[in-house]
Amino acid sequence: MNTKTSNKTTLQEKAGVSTPDTTSQQAISNLKKKRQEQPSIADLLKEIIAGNTAALSRGITLIESHNAAHKTKSNTLIQMCLEHRKPSIRIGITGVPGVGKSTFIEALGTYLTGLDKKVAVLAVDPTSSLSKGSILGDKTRMETLVKNPNAFIRPSAAGDALGGVARHTREAITLCETAGYDVILIETVGVGQSETLVHSMVDFFLLLKLSGAGDELQGIKRGIIEMADAIIINKTDGDNLTAAKLAKMDFKRALHLYPTKASKWTPKVVLCSALENKGIDAAWDLITDYINHTNNDGYFTKKRQEQNAFWLLQTIEDQLKDRFFQDETIAKELKTQMALIADNKRSPFAVAEYLLNLHKTGV
């Protein structure tokens, strides 16, 4: 029986007839080949506009690439996206680790999709300075939202970028707006007072706080709180409710110490329990009040114009840095100069000036 079966299979193969196994293998091979194929920028843009999330992910991967050829393509893609972007509300969400950012974002995102809005989440994870790796586990945390057809979640590594966001988050926002997302939520790394760069790319800056964790003292410090358009005290459930109410009063008093914002908006403090889905609607109402307020007096548009100017200068700075370290002459000389610094024969400041002058003459 086995011999006949074997002979039959051989005859089928000789005749060019595919068996179930070979058909499956061929399908897998075709799928891998299709994934490896690089679509043209025009085709990629077309798919992004159509709302294809796979194309959107591919587009973000392209702009995050360090490959020089990919950089040229990504610049072309961003330029082509500009005329296709749809109006959106950009919301930055930050807070110390453990404050419940992912839980809050999932609750808010689910609430917004229930209002027939398309929601994109750009989550930034910290990168290890030792292993250079990132967990990128936000999709695992937001297991309900990730299944929602009107939601898109993209985790990215912060890399060596400071300020709580990834280096190409700004470009990722442009792609999401081209894909037609109404609300873009940007979750920062969440390391405390340094979470400031996200403020330069969003319309509304939301700070999550905890009660009973010493955070009330932060209310009298300048920095990230001064930039916040609203403070949400999260995890106000169970035994935390009383402490949360006290924290709310402390933060409200502290906010009065700051000068009036350019937007003429007075930051509010709201209680919320993302776990129990309480206060989410109040948080969204607060955000829409702010958007309406800034739209009415023209500040919304003015702020975005100022942000574009900021990102022009930031991009120039980033590209100058890249070109400097990619210079072969600099890379070679840097090793030599580092050895001189280690032997205390030259100061870091003198070496920096020397290398910059070397790069300048090389250009």
Instruction: State pLDDT tens for residues 165-213.
Output: 556 888 999 999 999 999 999 988 665 444 567 888 899 999 998 886 5
Q: Place 95 in a pLDDT band, splitting at 50, 70 and 90.
A: confident
pLDDT at 349 over 60: yes
Note the pLDDT tens digit of each residue in 231-278. 999 999 888 888 888 888 888 888 888 888 889 999 999 999 998 999
pLDDT value, residue 163: 42
> Which letter, b or e, does each residue of 181-216 get, where b requires 16 or more Cβ atoms within 10 Å of its Cβ?
bbbbbbbbbbbeeebbbbbbbbbbbbbbbbbebebb
pLDDT per position as a tens digit, 297-327: 999 999 999 999 988 888 888 888 888 988 8
Contact 312, 201 (CB under 8 A): no
How does residue 66 score in pLDDT terms, banded at 50, 70 and 90? confident
Report the pLDDT averaged over residues 333-348.
93
Lowest-pLDDT range of 300-304, 329-333, 344-348, 358-362 = 358-362
* Tens digit of each residue's pLDDT (9 = 90 or more) over 99-149: 888 899 999 999 999 999 999 999 887 544 344 333 445 566 788 899 999
Judge whether 270 and 233 are in contact, CB under 8 Å: yes
Q: How high is the pLDDT of residue 166?
A: 56
What's the pLDDT score for residue 140? 66
Q: Identify the pLDDT of residue 200.
A: 84
The CATH topology of domain 24-84 is 1.20.5
**Between 22 and 319, where is the model more confident?**
319
Q: So what CATH class is 85-299?
A: alpha beta
316 compared with 12, residue with greater pLDDT: 316
Contacts of 357 (CB under 8 A, 6+ apart): none
What are the residue ranges spanned by the domains of the chain?
Answer: 24-84, 85-299, 308-362
Bridge partners for 23 per DSSP:
none
- pLDDT score recorded for residue 336: 93
Task: Report pLDDT for 223.
Answer: 67
Tell me: pLDDT of 362 over 90. Answer: no
